[in-house]
A and B are shown apart, each in its own frame.
Chain A
């Protein structure tokens, strides 16, 4: 016990002795057992509404949907599975929220706009990168990329700069970035998930 701890102990109020009186809480072994009991799924319970004859209970464990079950929209018109899907369709459920608000494509840029975009980028690529052009012309960076490409010289310059930045990374960051790239490469189905 060092000096600081002993001073602290003396200044603090003494701890009262632990109470020996039993207090009944709601928790008891019987109640706990009852609370933890897993009740059968409603589909397993026989009620007066259940079929009286032998029947099959279809209650598969929850799992990610398999692509082997073709969604209804992808079935050809003459496929018999349409009736199955329609039979199990739920009544007018609201759709889940979108990840980002759906938007209509405007197609507002004209040929002269695109020509100006090309000129700006070719004239001063450092001043007019994709993001700024996209903001200026109110379109996506992908569209800017479709309309005009940076010059070979600019691309090689930027590549060199990226290379320089990557060289300043330590071992941990380099490994983490490589791992991330590897994981990203599997999203398209290569990782078998």
Chain B
């Protein structure tokens, strides 16, 4: 439903533009105060050289109109009329990027704890990541959303320096990071609207999901040894025992201990540290990471499932509650 409404909104936008171009010159009736006799450069995609350049840089399909690209660069803080801003497009883009990122993460690491999953999705498609992506694409920002700025610039009303970004919505302004991320989301939504679902998925995979995310560094366990004990009890493994793999300089200023944590005869994880406690705790942390970062060999995404329907390769019982 959302897609349909959005598509009609985009069509409405272009129709309105063509009316500007063709009929205003010949009309004899007095113009309504809201209608301008000429389109200002900030709303005239044809007057910008930046838009075709961005279109070419992103290798967008010719069916992706320059008008949508121009609209994606207008933040709601720059224009009150939602028909001229990226508001709807960025909402769709947010849904799409969030869906594809979480689907990818859930299928790749089905045991990921919820907190880490949210952090990982945020790291892929959060404001910070998408704003960085927008800068890499070469999107530049206008100093202020005036009528004479180039339509190829990101137009938004900048939050005054020193103001709390949480108050941005209330004062009708946005930070550069937020505006840039929303523009990137809107551009991605444009791919979905004009080129289709497959193209949007490929675009997201190539631009966002192809980035290296170190999920193994996103963990922070408060009670790792206790959590590992709970895990072993839950899964029916023998209780964990820390065993010394190697050590050097025990009586020196800089000892190093390498400790492995075992369940019965099976090694679960290994850690090293400057004290026995550190090595033991790090071993438990690595064992827990080994559990949570399990990745099945065959990964089928729900969005790629054919007519036969999606069948999960692996269903996890959930994270360990301590």
A17 touches B (CB below 8 Å): no
Are A67 and B216 neighbours in the complex by a CB distance under 8 Å? yes
Of A64, A68, A71, A95, which contacts B243 at CB under 8 A?
A95
A97 touches B (CB below 8 Å): yes
Of B224, B270, B294, which contacts A75 at CB under 8 A?
B294
Segment at the interface with B among A19-27, A35-43, A185-193: A185-193
Are A188 and B290 neighbours in the complex by a CB distance under 8 Å? no
Interface residues of B, dominant DSSP: mixed
**Total A-B residue contacts, Cβ distance less than 8 Å:** 90
Beyond A70-B294, A187-B273, is A98–B216 a contact (Cβ under 8 Å)?
no
Of B241, B259, B278, B294, which contacts A74 at CB under 8 A?
B294
Beyond A95-B265, A99-B242, is A189–B296 a contact (Cβ under 8 Å)?
no
Per-residue interface assignment for chain B, residues 260 to 273, with 1 indicating a CB less than 8 Å from any chain A CB and 0 otherwise: 10110111111011
Segment at the interface with A among B50-58, B156-164, B280-288: B280-288
Beyond A98-B243, A188-B220, is A71–B268 a contact (Cβ under 8 Å)?
yes
Q: Which residues of A are found within 8 Å of B143, using beta-carbon distances?
A: none
Per-residue interface assignment for chain B, residues 209 to 245, with 1 indicating a CB less than 8 Å from any chain A CB and 0 otherwise: 0000000110111101000000000000101011111
A102 touches B (CB below 8 Å): yes
Beyond A71-B266, A76-B314, A190-B220, is A96–B294 a contact (Cβ under 8 Å)?
no
B291 touches A (CB below 8 Å): yes
Specify the chain A residue showing the minimal Cβ separation from B272.
A64
Are A67 and B286 neighbours in the complex by a CB distance under 8 Å? yes
Specify the chain A residue showing the minimal Cβ separation from B217.
A192
Interface residues of A, dominant DSSP: loop
Are B294 and A188 neighbours in the complex by a CB distance under 8 Å? no
B290 to chain A, nearest CB (A): 5
Are A67 and B290 neighbours in the complex by a CB distance under 8 Å? yes
B208 touches A (CB below 8 Å): no
- Complex CA–CA separation, A73 to B273 (angstroms): 24
Beyond A65-B270, A72-B266, A76-B314, is A99–B296 a contact (Cβ under 8 Å)?
no
**Could you list 16 A-B pairs, sorted by A, with CB under 8 Å?**
A64-B272, A67-B216, A67-B286, A69-B290, A70-B291, A70-B295, A76-B296, A79-B296, A79-B297, A95-B243, A95-B265, A97-B244, A99-B259, A187-B282, A189-B217, A193-B282
Closest 4 CB pairs of A and B: A67-B289, A73-B266, A189-B219, A96-B243
